Chain A
Amino acid sequence: MLNYIWGGMILVGLTVGAFNGRMQDITNTVVDSSKEAVMLCVTMLGIMSMWTGVMKIAERAGLIDTLSLKLKPLLRLLFPGIPREHLALKYISINFIANVLGLGWAATPAGLKAMEELQKLNTRKDTASNSMCMFLIINMSSLQLVTMNILAYRSQYQSANPSEIIGPGLLATVFSTIAGVAACKIFEKRRGE
Chain B
Amino acid sequence: MKIILMFSNLIIPMTIGIVILYGYGRKVDLYDSFVEGAKDGMSTVAGILPTIVGLMVAVGILRASGALDILGRLVAPLTNLLGYPKETVPLTLMRLVSSSASTGLLLDLFKQFGPDSYIGRFVSIMMSCTETVFYTMSVYFMSVKITKTRYTLAGALIANLAGVAASLAITNLLYAPA
Contacts and interface: CB of A to CB of B under 8 A. Distances in A.
Interface string B19-44: 11011011011100111111111101
A187 to B, nearest CB: 4
A15 B126 CA distance: 30
Residue among A9, A48, A141, A187 with max Cβ neighbours from chain B (10 Å):
A9
Residue among B41, B54, B107, B121 with max Cβ neighbours from chain A (10 Å):
B41
B174 interface: yes
Chain B interface, DSSP helix/strand/loop, else mixed:
helix
A73 interface: no
A177 to B, nearest CB: 7
A168 B129 CA distance: 10
A75 interface: no
Contacts of B48: 41
Contacts of A10: 57-58, 61
Interface in A112-144: 112, 115-116, 118-119, 124-128, 132-133, 136-137, 139-142, 144
Contact of A150 (B55, B124, B133): B124
B63 A29 contact: yes
A76 B15 CA distance: 27
Interface string B40-64: 1110111011001111111111111
Interface string B68-86: 0010000000000000000
Contacts of B55: 6
Nearest to A6: B58
Contact of B152 (A12, A40, A128): A128
Contact of A140 (B133, B148, B166): B133
B124 to A, nearest CB: 4
Nearest to B106: A153
Contacts of B25: 61
A141 B160 contact: yes
Contacts of A146: 11-12, 15
Interface residues of A, number: 101
Nearest to B50: A37
Contacts of B165: 175
Given A34-B53, A146-B15, A41 B7 contact: no
Nearest to A114: B140
Contacts of A164: 5, 8-9, 121
B154 A147 contact: no
A144 B129 CA distance: 8
Contact of A172 (B45, B57, B67, B125): B125
Contacts of A169: 124-125, 127-129, 167
A29 to B, nearest CB: 4
B137 A60 contact: no
B171 interface: yes
Contacts of B137: 136, 140
Interface of A: 1-2, 5-6, 9-10, 12-17, 20, 22, 25-26, 28-30, 32-34, 36-38, 40-41, 44-45, 48-63, 108, 111-112, 115-116, 118-119, 124-128, 132-133, 136-137, 139-142, 144-147, 149-150, 153-154, 156-173, 175-180, 183-184, 187, 191
Given A48-B41, A60-B33, A141-B131, 8 more contacts: A5-B98, A6-B58, A9-B61, A29-B60, A37-B53, A38-B49, A44-B45, A180-B156
Task: Give the top 8 A-B pairs by smallest Cβ distance, nearest first.
Answer: A56-B37, A169-B128, A176-B163, A180-B159, A17-B65, A52-B41, A179-B162, A13-B61
